Amino acid sequence: MLKKHLWKFVLLALTAMLLLAACSGGNDEGEGTGNNTDNSGENTGDNQNQDKGKSENPVEGRDGELVIGVPGDPQNWDPIDTFLLDWSTIATSVFEGLVDRNLDLEIQPGLATEWEYVEENVLQFKLREGVTFHNGEPFNADAVKFTFDRLLGEEGAKGPQQANYTAIDHVEVVDDYTVNFHLKYKDPVLITKLAGYGAVIVPPNYIQENGDEHFNNNPVGTGPFKMTKYERDNVVVLEKNENYWKEGLPKLDKVTFKIIPEASTRLAELQTGKIDIMKRVERSQTQAVEDSSFLSLSVAGTPTVYALRFDTDEKPLDNPKVRQALNYAVDKEAIIEEILGGYGNPISTFQSELSFGNNPNLEPYPYDPEKAKELLAEAGVEEGTILDIYTPGNDATFKEVVQAVAFYLEQVGLQANIQTVDANTLTSELMPNGDAGHMYRMGWGGWTLDFDNTAYLLYHEGEFWNPDFYDEKVEELLAAERATVDQAEREEIFMELTERLYELAPQLYLYQDMAMFGVNDRVKNFQTPHDDRIRLENVEVE
Amino acid sequence: MIQYIIRRLIHTVFVVLAISLIVFFSIRLTGDPVAIMFQAGEPTKEAIEEVRENLGLNEPLIVQYGIFMKQLITFDLGESFRSGLPVSTMIAERMGPTVLLALGGILVAILIAFPVGILSAVKRGTAVDFFGRIFSLLGISFPNFWLGIMLIIVFAVQLQWFPASGYDGWKSLVLPSIALGMILSGILARLVRSSMLEILNQQYISTAKSKGIKDWVVIIRHAFRNALIPTTTFLGIQFGSLLGGTVIIEQVFSWPGVGRMIIDAINQRDYPVIQGGVIVLAMLMILVNLIVDLSYSFLDPRIKVGGSDK
């Protein structure tokens, strides 16, 4: 009796579950058809024959529209409030500066047509005429003055951008389309800095009428695209700026950025054609992208470089011979090949070959364990000396790199003790106080693509990033390089400086990082940017 | 009852005070937000100092805490360092997706766990029970990260039934809800099974059966209803903690929920967002607990909240 009824119950429950499953299945198809009529036939085909489906480009019905999957949301679009790569990836299409740095990293006219020093420390810009902001407001000398007054004033003081432009004393309006920048001191990389980030030109009336908080979420610039929708941590939609000053550009009607923090999810979206371009393909994913018949991997060298920075106060690293020995001891080529899958380049000093001031005559330290042992013996370092290496816990790739380094150190008779710590604690607490062991991971953006910023912040005595290193000759050269805007003279100084830094080896120079994008073959004219700043005005889709 | 609620609400004030102290000081022990604000270009010492000054981080800690508490009393959670938006606005923006995902997950969990748990209990010791228990064990032991990725591979990449990510219509809710519900359903099924077993052994069940009431009526109306009490507690508390966001699920499926916001804020050391977020979540948790307690008296009229000795 009991049993019989129980079976009824089981059957009932099972039927209910099946029904549920059937219903949801039916709904899906209905939804699919409703959403995208072109796609429904294709989908069925996929289900029946997955191999065939996979080899066909799944993107359909997105004419003139591009979808890009990016890992992060800057949270704030006001140029003076952020200093994040995630910002520049999207905002480069919305805002423009007086000068422009193109995809090959050359400086060219932007909102200014020409510029020159009219006096010592007075830099004059002639502005482009007939340009309007996305809200219809005209671009002119007043907009430039407003932008820099804001950046250098109270509003700018709250953000991380003001510090980049402290060389500017004030901006003077000469006439509607001429401005003079009065400088406090010479800044050899000022022109480069004007191409990006905090120096992009913003609309005065719009900001004054709507307030800063509104502007944070509803940015307006002069760029090829205007932002029409922003849902935090979800989606950003850009639409064509019909009045863009470059004739016939942009070519796309609409660009959607989906914010997808997880790399494997981004890849899934790329493989299913839901996105056309995937920013930041992980090294473990490159094969999957290359194997696909409709995707390509697009790679570019970045200004970002990695090294293990030595604490030169710690024995035995106070001795340059020991530091050189460690540079000889590690096989950088093997690390790049085995751990980075070949995506990286060895470096001779702490800058990439993209950087002004990189010395092409310097060969990266070769792998020479015998020489390393010799140098260690000369310096009197005992066999089995323990060296502490600090690395941030959130960087899985670098953890592998550090393990390889530890292996190589053991090969020359040293012992490595790897400490994994929170990334932010390492940067803001341990590193500046000299508490990060004998050496620690240092990744460096080098956004100005000029060795000036890097060298000054890393090797000038007393800087935040330099708790311990000091060399008189380096100080001299740094001061000399900053005293002139003559690029040829600066280059000469940098050659001397790099030789000195190569010899002193304050770091174990490792490699230059690569930017990897996954791109659907229907996308034309896309070039992976060196600096994360995607340029879209020439991009087309099939 | 009213008295009881008031007493609980007074407790809340002290809990919030304690939490504010812990959060405020503990996040300040683990690093500074300023250095990482310059991700795209490394700052000078002067730049770091200036931003610190402008964010009010150079004030003595106790003064900063005073300012924070003064704001808190007027229900002002401050402004995010990163977005410049009021923290309350940011939390409000995220609550919708989070509640939706929590409900979706719980619904999936119930749909799976109730039948499995009831069947396991009723067919105790049989193959059905065995598979039921294996199933719950699987549910408990799946890492939700892995499960999320598997669901994406099968249902988004291969079958293309649902999108792999985003917050856009009901379809995007399906996969994260299943991922979340599967995890929950493991524990829930076990709970349903054990409370069912306990009740099936009670005398009133035999009485009901001997009165000739149909078996499934006995199981559902008498046994299952009473088994609901521990289950409700569990679901209520789970719901409370799900409101705190399901960080991993939100991360895998790019769901714009509260958990992701707070994790991002922790990574960026966005103090106001961490403080405000944690306090709001703590208050929600307390509220949910209170509602769970009150719901007992509806499920079982014998239980009286407020604790007289009867």
Give the helix/strand (H/E) hosting B140: helix B127-141
Report the alpha-carbon distance of residue B174 to residue A320 in Å, rounded. 60
Taking a C-beta distance cutoff of 8 angstroms, is the pair A111, A96 a contact?
yes
Taking CB atoms and an 8 Å cutoff, what residues of chain A touch B153? 268
Taking a C-beta distance cutoff of 8 angstroms, is the pair B281, B258 a contact?
yes
Say if the Cβ atoms of A445 and B39 lie within 8 Å.
yes
Structure confidence at residue A130 (pLDDT) = 92
Tell me the nearest-neighbour CA distance from A144 into chain B, angstroms. 23
Three-state secondary structure readout of A43-105 = HHHHHHCHHHHHHCCCCCCCCCEEEEEECCCCCCCCCCCCCCHHHHHHHCCCCCCCEEECCCC
Q: Is residue A159 part of a domain?
A: yes
Say if the Cβ atoms of B47 and A160 lie within 8 Å.
yes
| Burial class of residue B4, CB neighbours in 10 A (0-12, 13-18, 19+) | middle
Taking a C-beta distance cutoff of 8 angstroms, is the pair A297, A345 a contact?
no
DSSP B156: I
Closest CA to B265 of B278, B283, B253, B255: B278
Tell me the residue type at A230: Y
pLDDT at residue B310 greater than cutoff 50: no
Structure confidence at residue B305 (pLDDT) = 60
Residue A80, both tokens = 């003076």
Whether chain B has a CB inside 8 Å of the CB on A470: the answer is no
Tell me the nearest-neighbour CA distance from A236 into chain B, angstroms. 12
Torsions phi, psi of B283, nearest 5?
Answer: -65, -40
Residue A317, both tokens = 């690293």
* pLDDT above 70: percentage of residues in chain B: 96
Closest CA to A502 of A396, A388, A367, A365: A365
B50, B216, B261 ranked by CB distance to A9: nearest: B216
Give the helix/strand (H/E) hosting B295: helix B271-299
Provide the CATH number for the domain around residue A168: 3.40.190.10
Q: What is the pLDDT of residues B169-197, one digit of tens each?
A: 888 899 999 988 888 888 888 888 888 88
Whether chain B has a CB inside 8 Å of the CB on A60: the answer is no
Report the alpha-carbon distance of residue A516 to residue A267 in Å, rounded. 12
Closest CA to B272 of B73, B59, B28: B28
Say if the Cβ atoms of B256 and A262 lie within 8 Å.
no
Report the alpha-carbon distance of residue A460 to residue A481 in Å, rounded. 12
Whether chain A has a CB inside 8 Å of the CB on B42: the answer is yes
Taking a C-beta distance cutoff of 8 angstroms, is the pair A191, A100 a contact?
no
In this prediction the ipTM stands at 0.84
Report the alpha-carbon distance of residue A461 to residue B278 in Å, rounded. 41
CA atoms within 13 A on the CB side of A341: 11
Q: Which residues pair with A308 in a beta bridge?
A: A441, A508
Average pLDDT over residues B281-289: 84
Residue of A nearest to B32 (CA): A428
Report the alpha-carbon distance of residue B165 to residue A269 in Å, rounded. 8
Q: Is residue A357 part of a domain?
A: no
Question: Which SS3 state, helix, strand or coil, does residue A187 take?
Answer: coil
Structure confidence at residue B231 (pLDDT) = 84
Pick among 1.20.120.420, 3.30.70.360, 3.20.20.80, 1.10.3720.10: CATH of B87-264: 1.10.3720.10
Asked if the peptide bond before residue A250 counts as cis, ω within 30 degrees of 0, the response is: yes
C-beta neighbour count of A448 within 10 angstroms: 23
Report the alpha-carbon distance of residue A326 to residue A234 in Å, rounded. 45
Largest CA distance in chain B: 85
Structure confidence at residue A7 (pLDDT) = 52
Whether chain A has a CB inside 8 Å of the CB on B260: the answer is yes
B47 confidence band (pLDDT: 50, 70, 90): confident
Say if the Cβ atoms of B84 and A271 lie within 8 Å.
no
Structure confidence at residue A98 (pLDDT) = 95
Q: How many domains does chain A have?
A: 1
Tell me the residue type at A84: L
A87, A272, A425 ranked by CB distance to B30: nearest: A425
Structure confidence at residue A40 (pLDDT) = 36
Closest CA to A206 of A313, A132, A311: A132
Say if the Cβ atoms of B160 and A157 lie within 8 Å.
no
Give the helix/strand (H/E) hosting A126: strand A122-127
A58, A157, A429 ranked by CB distance to B31: nearest: A429
Taking CB atoms and an 8 Å cutoff, what residues of chain B touch A47? 159-160
DSSP states of A128-181: PSS-B-TTSPBPSHHHHHHHHHHHHSHHHHTSSSGGGGTTEEEEEEEETTEEEE
- Please give the distance of CA A502 from its chain centroid, rounded to a whole number: 26
Say if the Cβ atoms of B44 and A265 lie within 8 Å.
no
* Domain enclosing residue A163, as ranges: 72-256
Q: Compute the Cα dihedral for B98, B116, A11, B131 and give only its sign.
A: positive
Taking a C-beta distance cutoff of 8 angstroms, is the pair A372, A328 a contact?
yes
Average pLDDT over residues B34-43: 75
Whether chain A has a CB inside 8 Å of the CB on B81: the answer is no
Residue A109, both tokens = 């006219």
Q: Is residue A413 part of a domain?
A: no
Q: Is residue A218 part of a domain?
A: yes
Structure confidence at residue A431 (pLDDT) = 87
Which residues are CB-neighbours of B204 under 8 A, at least 6 positions away? Answer: B222
Residue B104, both tokens = 């979706």
- Separation in Å, CA A381 to CA A269, A328, A372, A376, B148: 53, 15, 11, 5, 51
Report the alpha-carbon distance of residue B178 to residue B250 in Å, rounded. 13
B40, B55, B85 ranked by CB distance to A197: nearest: B40
User: B 222-241 residues with CB below 8 A of A?
Assistant: none
- Separation in Å, CA B248 to CA A422, B239, B263, B266: 19, 16, 10, 15
pTM for the structure as a whole: 0.84
DSSP A36: -
Taking a C-beta distance cutoff of 8 angstroms, is the pair B163, B172 a contact?
yes
Report the alpha-carbon distance of residue B291 to residue A264 in Å, rounded. 39
Closest CA to A148 of A176, A119, A183: A183
Say if the Cβ atoms of B219 and A88 lie within 8 Å.
no
* pLDDT above 90: percentage of residues in chain B: 8
Whether chain A has a CB inside 8 Å of the CB on B261: the answer is yes
Torsions phi, psi of A308, nearest 5?
Answer: -105, 115
Report the alpha-carbon distance of residue B183 to residue A295 in Å, rounded. 34
Chain-wide mean pLDDT for chain B? 83
pLDDT, one tens digit for every residue, chain A (542 residues):
444 454 555 445 544 444 443 333 333 333 333 333 333 333 333 333 344 344 678 887 788 999 999 999 999 999 998 888 899 999 999 999 999 998 988 899 999 999 999 988 999 999 999 999 999 999 999 999 999 999 999 888 888 888 889 899 999 999 999 999 999 988 888 998 998 788 999 999 999 999 988 999 999 999 999 999 999 889 999 999 999 999 899 999 999 999 999 899 999 999 999 999 999 999 889 999 999 999 999 999 999 999 999 999 988 999 999 999 999 999 999 999 999 989 999 999 999 999 999 999 999 999 999 999 999 999 999 999 999 999 998 888 899 999 999 999 999 999 999 999 988 888 888 888 888 899 999 988 877 888 998 999 899 998 888 988 999 999 999 999 988 888 899 999 999 999 999 999 999 999 999 999 999 999 999 999 998 999 999 999 98
Report the DSSP pairing between strands A112-119 and A122-127: antiparallel
Structure confidence at residue A68 (pLDDT) = 97
Structure confidence at residue A46 (pLDDT) = 38
pLDDT at residue B107 greater than cutoff 50: yes
Taking a C-beta distance cutoff of 8 angstroms, is the pair A389, A419 a contact?
yes
Say if the Cβ atoms of A429 and B83 lie within 8 Å.
no
Tell me the nearest-neighbour CA distance from B217 into chain A, angstroms. 10
Q: Is residue A304 part of a domain?
A: no
Within A232-377, strands assigned E span 235-240, 254-259, 277-278, 295-310, 345-346
Structure confidence at residue B230 (pLDDT) = 81
Q: Give the number of beta-carbon pairs within 8 Å between A and B.
A: 199
Whether chain B has a CB inside 8 Å of the CB on A448: the answer is yes
Structure confidence at residue A334 (pLDDT) = 95
Q: Compute the Cα dihedral for A480, A485, A490, A494 and give only its sign.
A: positive
Which residues are CB-neighbours of B61 under 8 A, at least 6 positions away? Answer: B25, B28
DSSP states of A482-533: HT---HHHHHHHHHHHHHHHHHH--EEEEEEEEEEEEEETTEES----TTS-
Residue A257, both tokens = 């950025």
Report the alpha-carbon distance of residue A136 to residue A265 in Å, rounded. 39
Whether chain A has a CB inside 8 Å of the CB on B163: the answer is yes
Tell me the residue type at A319: N
Say if the Cβ atoms of B157 and A268 lie within 8 Å.
yes
B309 confidence band (pLDDT: 50, 70, 90): very low
CA atoms within 13 A on the CB side of B8: 19
Q: Is residue A387 part of a domain?
A: no
Residue A331, both tokens = 């096989």
Report the alpha-carbon distance of residue B172 to residue A339 in Å, rounded. 35
Taking CB atoms and an 8 Å cutoff, what residues of chain B touch A163? 43-44, 46-47, 50-51
User: A 353-392 residues with CB below 8 A of B?
Assistant: none
CA atoms within 13 A on the CB side of A533: 22
